[in-house]
Structure 1
Amino acid sequence: MSRAFLVVLDSVGCGGAPDAARFGDEGANTLLHIHEQVGLKMPNLMKLGLGAALGISTAETHGLHGVAREVSLGKDTPSGHWELAGVPVPWDWHYFPDTHPSFPPEISAMVAEFCETDGILGDCHASGTDIITQFGEEHLRTGKPICYTSADSVFQIAAHEETFGLDRLLQLCQHMAPILHGMNVGRVIARPFVGEDVASFKRTKNRHDYAMKVPSPTLLDWAKADGRATFGVGKISDIFSGRGVDESRKGFDDVLMGHLSDLVDEAPDGALVFANFVEFDSLYGHRRDPAGYAAHLEWFDEAIGPVLDKLRDGDLMLFTADHGNDPTWTGNDHTREQVPVVGAGVGAKDIGQVMFVDVAASVADHLGLTERGPGRSFL
């Protein structure tokens, strides 16, 4: 029985979204601009057809390749992943203004009351690493949580994993999540960090996303309904609020590659493995670091080679993305882009331009699932 591996390279967009101007992102192109500014050596994905999908190579390809467009009105993680799993977002997200303060006073008061402090720190748009540098030492002195947001529909809370307490931070986020979800804020994110001072602060792997529940069954649910084993690698379980995921494996990207490799060895016939590699976005896109982004892409390409070599006859492995985050662009937020779709296991095929929901329909088609969703299979 066939297996399917759907691998999301978080933020690895390829420009060309027809509504990019609406988001202030006309001309953004994550992969092309990295290639032009730094250069990219990605022989494994290029051989499958990544270069052809981007229009930067006419070399012979051996895999499925094309690009996908999103219809959900966002450029965020839940919108992209939900739609790739067959469920476009049926509402507009709530975004906090880029002002200081960013949050309604009643929200800040609820956080402070839970923490038994006389206020919060941050209360603004910020980079997660920058705001820890700015407020980390004050947080250690006062115990006040660091709350911040971005151009995405998120409410993020950073706190020291030891002095504030990881369990306490998770309880705080869990307490605030239904309140913020009621405002159509997509995610409440716990951002624990460690260190003694600004020189040693660093975020840990214990991030946890409390996402709004998906409004209808997704590819993961379709697979489970047909009795298939489902695995989430990275933050997939968080994005889908645990729904449809039998087993979740987490860690930093190098650890996640090991998990993906192990699942190629271990996943039973008929299984669905849904993976997200986040550090393209979190470490290099938001920080506007083209060289770092390029290096991580090249690391991924080299590491995925042996994994591809282990695929069984009948396996499908698709690589795609959820949005863009052009590191050469202005600001430090996601960019509205279409995304590449590159696949191994079904031979050479140019699928042209498809929709995000077609990815879910195609994976379901490959697995022979009963439900296919609103998309059309490109296999």
Structure 2
Amino acid sequence: MPRAIVCLLDSVGIGGAPDAASYGDEGSNTVGHIAEWAAAGKADREGLRTGPLHVPNMDAMGLGAAIKLSTGTLPPNLSDTPKGGRFGVGREVSRGKDTPSGHWEIAGVPVPFEWGYFPQTEPTFPPDLIAEFLKRTGLPGILGDKHASGTTVIAELGEEHIRTGMPICYTSIDSVFQIAAHESHFGLDRLYEICKIAFELTEPLKIGRVIARPFIGETAETFKRTGNRRDFAIAPPEPTLLDRNAAAGNQVFAIGKISDIYAGSGVTHKLKGTGIPQLFDCTLEALEMAGDRAFIMTNFVDFDSEYGHRRDVPGYAAALELFDARLPEIIAAMRHDDLLILTADHGNDPTWPGTDHTREQVPILVFSPALLPAEIGIRPTFADIGESIAAWLGLAPGRHGKSFL
């Protein structure tokens, strides 16, 4: 009996969407620009890796061909002739370029409303929101109160946070309210508690997520975020693929931050990991446990959080190569009628100005020993991914999208 696995390579976009200009992202191309940068020899000078981008396994599934279909240009050291599987391009219909929109739409539910966002001012949060937050939490105040990169703002304010006990609150161009606090000096459970309060206050504003960002270390030079991140997210407005498969009595494995993104709805098994190797191990563990008609979904967040937002081109290239090198392990663990899909939720071009996501199309790379190779074209909605998985698992069609299988 069939099973389905989605490896969601967070932010691995393949070229600006048709409406990218309205987001200031026309010309962005996460994988394409990384490949060009590597081929130009610039990565060599960083001392992290050398030579052109080397991702032969994803390329065999159609990565290069998908980028050419998306942009009209084939990046260096990639091929436009896949060796197996089906390939295509996903185009998002939900507005914005944030994590919940992409994930929900992939699971068959495009976002039907506008997210709330905080202005790019300093301070950025409404005074009445912060006043109520401090009243309900008993905190003496907050630090930050601005748009910021998480690692940068922790380095800037972490020592003051330890000294004063005030959490670091910040946002980005996405619909988020983020709270960073030290795991031991402030306390992990306490951080989760104040994030829950913040979520109750921001949910009416249609802020998509409140994110707990715990860190360790004692100085600006040694601060490091940990894997105990937790997202408090608005629930999808209708049943997703996860809900539909769980309702049919089947297993749903949520790996990484997947459970948080879907507010735990439809999840029967939750596995956590930090970094690409651990997330890969968790995916293989889920495959060992998964029964017939199980659905496994893993978010590989490091592409986005560690390399995209930090504009770390060689780090992003090395992460793509690491993922690619381990990809055969998943394929080897698959049954004859299992389905594997590699895709993404948005872009985060590390060569692009700023530190935020980029509005891009995404690859849809599909493999099963039971499938013949084919091009599936440019899909008009990410929801086609969810409907294809639903058809593969024998579920009734949903309201959005069409199967490409």
* Worse-matched range after superposition: 350-359 or 108-117: 108-117
Determine if the alignment matches structure 1 residue 184 to structure 2 residue 206: yes
1:267-278 alignment, distance < 5 Å: 267-278=290-301
Work out which of the residue numbers 353, 356, 360 in structure 1 matches 2:378.
Answer: 353
Determine if the alignment matches structure 1 residue 89 to structure 2 residue 111: yes
Work out which of the residue numbers 61, 71, 89 in structure 2 matches 1:48.
Answer: 61
Work out which of the residue numbers 382, 389, 392 in structure 2 matches 1:366.
Answer: 392
Consecutive unaligned residues in structure 1, runs of 5 or more: none
Determine if the alignment matches structure 1 residue 249 to structure 2 residue 233: no
Alpha carbons 1:12, 1:321 under 8 Å: kept: yes
Q: Which residue of 2 aligns with 1:3?
A: 3
Q: Which residue of 1 aligns with 2:47?
A: none
CA distance in 2, matches of 1:289, 1:25: 18
Determine if the alignment matches structure 1 residue 102 to structure 2 residue 124: yes
Q: Which residue of 2 aligns with 1:124?
A: 146
CA distance in 2, matches of 1:140, 1:107: 23
SS in 2 for 1:111: helix
Alpha carbons 1:357, 1:373 under 8 Å: kept: no
SS in 2 for 1:274: strand
AA at the equivalent of 1:53: A
AA at the equivalent of 1:267: A
Q: TM-score, normalised by structure 2?
A: 0.92
Q: Cα distance, 1:115 vs. partner?
A: 4.2
Alpha carbons 2:106, 2:386 under 8 Å: kept: yes
Work out which of the residue numbers 336, 356, 359 in structure 2 matches 1:313.
Answer: 336
Alpha carbons 1:50, 1:342 under 8 Å: kept: yes
RMSD, aligned CA:
1.0
Determine if the alignment matches structure 1 residue 323 to structure 2 residue 346: yes
CA distance in 2, matches of 1:311, 1:16: 33
CA distance in 2, matches of 1:191, 1:266: 30
Deviations 1:59-94 (A, max 9, x none): 342111010000111100000000000111111011
Q: Cα distance, 1:310 vs. partner?
A: 1.8
Q: Which residue of 2 aligns with 1:266?
A: 289
CA distance in 2, matches of 1:214, 1:70: 16
AA at the equivalent of 2:135: E
CA distance in 2, matches of 1:194, 1:247: 28
1:23-172 alignment, distance < 5 Å: 23-38=23-38, 39-55=52-68, 56=74, 57-172=79-194
Alpha carbons 1:222, 1:371 under 8 Å: kept: no
Consecutive unaligned residues in structure 2, runs of 5 or more: 39-51, 69-73
Alpha carbons 1:361, 1:373 under 8 Å: kept: no
Q: Judging changes above 3 Å, is the alpha-carbon distance between structure 1 residues 60 and 318 closer, same or farther for their aligned structure 2 residues?
A: closer
Alpha carbons 1:111, 1:120 under 8 Å: kept: no
CA distance in 2, matches of 1:123, 1:63: 47
Q: Cα distance, 1:304 vs. partner?
A: 1.4
CA distance in 1, matches of 2:366, 2:154: 39
Q: Which residue of 2 aligns with 1:214?
A: 236
Q: Which residue of 2 aligns with 1:281?
A: 304
* Worse-matched range after superposition: 167-176 or 107-116: 107-116
Q: Cα distance, 1:350 vs. partner?
A: 0.5
* Worse-matched range after superposition: 357-366 or 300-309: 300-309
CA distance in 2, matches of 1:54, 1:271: 30
CA distance in 1, matches of 2:174, 2:190: 25
AA at the equivalent of 1:347: L
Q: Judging changes above 3 Å, is the alpha-carbon distance between structure 1 residues 82 and 361 closer, same or farther for their aligned structure 2 residues?
A: same
Q: Cα distance, 1:264 vs. partner?
A: 2.1
SS in 1 for 2:372: coil
Alignment length (residue pairs): 379
